[in-house]
Amino acid sequence: MQDIEKHLLHRDVQDALELIGGRWRGAIMTSLCGSPKRFSELKEDLKPITSRVLTKELRYLEQNKLINVERSTAAANSVLYTHSEHGSSCGPIILQLRDWAIKHREIMLEYLKE
Amino acid sequence: MQDIEKHLLHRDVQDALELIGGRWRGAIMTSLCGSPKRFSELKEDLKPITSRVLTKELRYLEQNKLINVERSTAAANSVLYTHSEHGSSCGPIILQLRDWAIKHREIMLEYLKE
DNA sequence: CTGCATCCAATTCGATACTG
DNA sequence: CAGTATCGAATTGGATGCAG
């Protein structure tokens, strides 16, 4: 029983890190924390991401309900990306990770001095 | 100025996700949250990880000061892996991620029912 | 502006076998 | 017990060009 739970624990962590891990997914979610954005704004914000990769990651996040995609029927070629309700709930966690990474860099730098 | 800060924000998130992201690093850190472990215990706990990959990831975490490695000189073939002080500070964040992933799964299942 | 198609390089990860 | 060596499959992600 405990064994099963332990394994599930790891699997959940792996799931989470697949959802927001990788080179770009966390950064995309971070970028959308500030405000909804269009494709070109994301591309600019996340430079040097390519449109191929940005498209792919946005589709992934959409399929996993972390973002909403508003494809305006009125104005063609205008698509707005926003956090889904559930997607926005991971924002604070990602920001904690960011703070942790900043602290980590300081620690590593200090260590290199010695 | 603000542009620079925004880009740095993304880079920090990317840094964090490189440190604990990927298939195994987060799971290893989670496993060490419970208690210090030896190589074989980690391998068992993280099954089906291979020793090749486990070795590589442990070396990475060691180099980045997230874990301590106690290579006992007395008893050969006995190595104990523990969180470093800084490494343990990411434990709570990872557990939040785990909880978030669990909630995510529930949401996805509910969505599939409709 | 928002993407898709093609091609390709690099990396990651696993299987398997072996060592002191 | 704690790894290392070798090989290969699969995935990821970048470059570039094109399309509606």
Q: Which residue has the higher pLDDT, B6 or B10?
A: B10
Beta strands in A43-92 (DSSP E): 67-71, 79-83
Rounded mean pLDDT, B17-21: 98
* pLDDT at residue B73 tops 50: yes
Q: Which helix (H) or strand (E) holds A104?
A: helix A91-113
- Percentage of chain B beyond pLDDT 70 is 92
The pLDDT value given to residue A113: 83
Residue B60, strand partner residues:
none
Q: Name all domains of chain B by residue range, CATH numbers in brackets.
A: 3-113 (1.10.10.10)
User: Among the residues of chain B, which ranges form H helices?
Assistant: 2-20, 25-34, 39-45, 51-63, 85-88, 91-113
The torsion angle over the Cα atoms of residues B99, B104, B110 and B113, rounded to 10 degrees, is: -130
Q: Which helix (H) or strand (E) holds B77?
A: none
Would the pTM of this model clear 0.85, i.e. be above it?
yes
For residue B38, give how far its alpha carbon lies from the nearest alpha carbon of chain A (Å). 16
* pLDDT at residue B1 tops 90: no
Closest residue, CA to C1' of D20: A77
pLDDT confidence tier of residue B8, bands split at 50, 70 and 90: low
For residue B17, give how far its alpha carbon lies from the nearest alpha carbon of chain A (Å). 6
Proximity of residue B14 CB to strand D below 7 A = no
Give helix B91-113 / helix B25-34 axis angle, nearest 10°: 120
Q: For residue A23, report the phi and psi dihedrals to the nearest 5 degrees.
A: -65, -35
Can you read off the two tokens belonging to residue A18? 């697949």
- Cβ-based contacts of B48 with chain A (< 8 Å): none
Rounded CA-CA distance B38/B67 in Å is 12
Question: Assign residue B41 a region: left if phi > 0, alpha if psi is -120 to 50, beta otherwise?
Answer: alpha
Q: Identify the three-state secondary structure at position A87.
A: helix
- Cβ-contact B66, B82 below 8 angstroms: no
* pLDDT at residue B26 tops 90: yes
- Cβ-contact B22, A16 below 8 angstroms: no
Measured CA to C1', the nucleotide nearest A80 is: C2
- Contacts of residue B103, defined as CB under 8 A and 6 or more positions apart, other chains included, come to A86, A89
**DSSP state, A35?**
S
In the sheet that holds B79-83, the strands lie side by side as B37-38, B79-83, B67-71
pLDDT confidence tier of residue B7, bands split at 50, 70 and 90: low
Q: Which of B42, B39, B46, B51 is nearest to B23 (CA)?
A: B46
The pLDDT value given to residue A71: 93
Can you read off the two tokens belonging to residue A73? 């029927």
Rounded CA-CA distance A22/B26 in Å is 12
Q: Which of A73-87, B22-36, B63-77 has the highest mean pLDDT?
A: B22-36
Can you read off the two tokens belonging to residue A45? 């914000």
Q: CB distance from B30 to chain A under 8 Å? A: yes
Closest residue, CA to C1' of D15: A50
Measured CA to C1', the nucleotide nearest A77 is: C1
Q: Look over chain A and give the mean of its residue pLDDT values, rounded to a whole number.
A: 92
The pLDDT value given to residue B3: 46
pLDDT confidence tier of residue A89, bands split at 50, 70 and 90: very high
Q: Which residue has the higher pLDDT, A6 or B106?
A: B106
Rounded mean pLDDT, B73-80: 82
Rounded mean pLDDT, B57-70: 98
Q: Which residue has the higher pLDDT, A84 or B7?
A: A84
